[in-house]
Amino acid sequence: MKLVISPLEARKWLGIIAIGLFLASLASLAVKFFVLKFSPDVNNIDLFVDFFHLDREKNLPSLFSFLLLFISSICLAIIALGNTRANHRYKKHWFALSLIFLFLSIDEWNSFHELLTDPLRANLNTSGIFFFAWVIVAIPLVATIFLVYLKFLRDLPPHTKKLFFMAGGLYLSGTLGMELINGYYFSQNVNAILNQEAIPAMIYAVMTHIEELLEMIGIVTFIYALTSYMSRYVEQLEIWVDDRQKSSISKM
């Protein structure tokens, strides 16, 4: 059996799913607002919304985001293995990136980074753009990784380099850029949002949706960059599964 993956087709369908989940999540919020406005006694509406909400954990969109990051980790590992066979000088960089994206995929499902927010906010008394205080750790960490990988990025093929920077820009605009903006808005309207006042709550919901959409589109672009790179520069990898067992014939 041969599995052929087209980078363009993968980008198209993953992008369609990402935008579809974005629209489904917005639609679920609109349904919630409409239903609760006219039928406030309806039960289980939150269960319906939570299943599609982009800013919730362990639901359909978070599963998709987890899979995007996990697929990225697998692609990076394949590139690293291909480059290992070719004795490529950056094979350790590819392996390390694979581990980083594996961690990101696990974190996407479990949101470990958010555990840093409360203790950091309590100890540093953060507010405004640093209301979601985990970004205080993330920003210097991302900057350090970028500096370590600067030579690696410089030596990438021009097409891959362009896509890497595009993907990174989109993803970081969402996960850090919008998180800073959302933190400021949330800290200024915390009571209104927590009390589900219509306008502040909906504005904040739209902002978090933009954040999640940027992250998903960024990773879709990254997967496109990786699969394009694999199609051009990685040796063909073959996986053989052989279940034949040696047997001895006993003579009677």
Q: Is residue 252 part of a domain?
A: no
What's the confidence (pLDDT) of residue 39?
Answer: 64
Q: Give the tens place of pLDDT for each residue, 181-210.
A: 999 999 999 999 888 787 888 899 999 999
Residue 236 confidence (pLDDT) above 90: no
In this predicted structure, what is the pLDDT of residue 250? 42
Structural domain tally of the chain? 1
Band of pLDDT at residue 238, cut at 50, 70 and 90: low
Note the pLDDT of residue 142: 96
Share of the chain above pLDDT 70, in %: 86
Give percent of the chain with pLDDT exceeding 90: 59
Whether 160 is covered by a domain: the verdict is: yes
| pLDDT of res. 251 | 41
Query: For position 82, what pLDDT does the model report?
Result: 80
Looking at 56-70, 94-108, 119-133, 233-247, which range is the least confident one? 233-247
Helices 198-233, 158-172: axis angle to 10 degrees equals: 160
Would 142 be classed as within a structural domain? yes
pLDDT in tens, 95-129: 999 999 999 999 999 888 888 898 999 899 988 99
Q: Does residue 186 fall inside a structural domain? A: yes
pLDDT at 11: 92
Quote the pLDDT of residue 248: 43
Domain-located, residue 65: yes
Find out whether 178 and 219 touch, Cβ atoms under 8 Å: no
> Of 78-87, 114-123, 125-134, 165-174, where does mean pLDDT reach its minimum?
78-87
Domain span at 154: 7-233
**Assigned domain for 153 exists:** yes
At residue 241 the predicted structure's pLDDT band, cuts being 50, 70 and 90, is low
User: What is the structure's pLDDT at 182?
Assistant: 95
Say if 1 falls within a structural domain: no
